[in-house]
Amino acid sequence: MPRKTFELELAQLETEMLTMAAQVENALTEAVDILERRDMDAARALIARDHDINAQRFAIEAQCLVVVATQQPMASDLRVVAAILFNVNELERIGDYAKGIAKINLLIGPGPLLKPLVDIPRMAELTRSMLHRAIDAFVRRDVALARVIPAEDDQVDALFEQVNHDLIQMIIADPSVTRQANLLTWAAHNLERAADRVTNLCERVIFTVTGELIELDTDEASPLE
């Protein structure tokens, strides 16, 4: 192996990105779990942990620049580094969406929710699963998997529309619930956006393997876009 040091540095970058992705994945499902449990302390702790995710993103970004400057990666190696640079930005944003849900939890306060959450936890689980497999596709350089994941974004979008519809109906029936209904819509919107970013991660898998930058369209965009 003529470039052992470089191979190790690349592998280390990828491992650090995986660690960050695992934390973001946890934050996403935990944020909704905390929302359901009405746990204010856990929401504050999750918000605090987002700083760690942001710090990891900067550390990985800095290390990518060191690798570029010192090892001058070319071709597929360069694409891996470029993809990691891009991915950590996307992961950091997904982490922000989780943090946003925790903030919504604090804004709603410790009282009960308007209704038991059904579709929002489903959105969270779907998005978490998409994220998990997108990262898996990157690690395995699996273009076929990367191509099929974005289609699942349609299910997340459909659930978001359902949540939106239900909450509007509740507002029409009783305008006094407007504030909480609005906040819950934002929580669902955060999940919908997180799933969109998973599509971006899938696009980078294809870029890493083939060098092609293509847009993986899902059937329908968010109704808010």
Partner 1 sequence: MEKISVQQLNFFYGAKQALSDISLDIEDRKITALIGPSGCGKSTFLRCLNRMNDTIPGTRVTGQILLDGENIYAPDTDVIGLRSRVGMVFQRPNPFPQSIFDNVAFGPRVLHTHRENGLAPVVEASLQQVGLWDEVKDILRQDALRLSLGQQQRLCIARAIAVKPEVILMDEPCSALDPIATLEVEELMRILRANFCIVIVTHNMQQAARVSDRTGFFWLGKLVETDATETMFTRPSNKLTEDYITGRAG
What residue ranges bind partner 1 (CB under 8 A)? 1-3, 6, 72-79, 210-212
CB of 214 to partner 1, least distance (A): 13
CB of 225 to partner 1, least distance (A): 31
Q: Which is nearer to partner 1, 6 or 186 (CB)?
A: 6
CB of 17 to partner 1, least distance (A): 20
**Cα–Cα dist 137/23, whole Å:** 18
CB of 78 to partner 1, least distance (A): 6
Structure tokens at 180: 């909480």
Tell me the DSSP string of 41-63: HHHHHHHHHHHHHHHHHHHHHHH
Which distant-in-sequence residues (6+ apart) come within 8 Å of 188 by Cβ?
119, 120, 123, 159, 160, 163, 164
Helix then strand then coil, in percent of the chain rounded to 5, is 85, 0, 15
DSSP structure class, residue 220? S
Instruction: Output the CA–CA distances (angstroms, integers) from residue 85 to 17, 43, 126, 170, in the order listed.
Output: 9, 29, 25, 43
Q: Which is nearer to partner 1, 68 or 216 (CB)?
A: 68
Give the number of other CB atoms < 10 A from CB of residue 209.
18
CB of 212 to partner 1, least distance (A): 8
CB of 206 to partner 1, least distance (A): 12
Question: Which of 118, 124, 112, 116 has its CA nearest to residue 156?
Answer: 124
Q: Name the one residue in this structure whose structure tokens are 């942990």.
A: 49
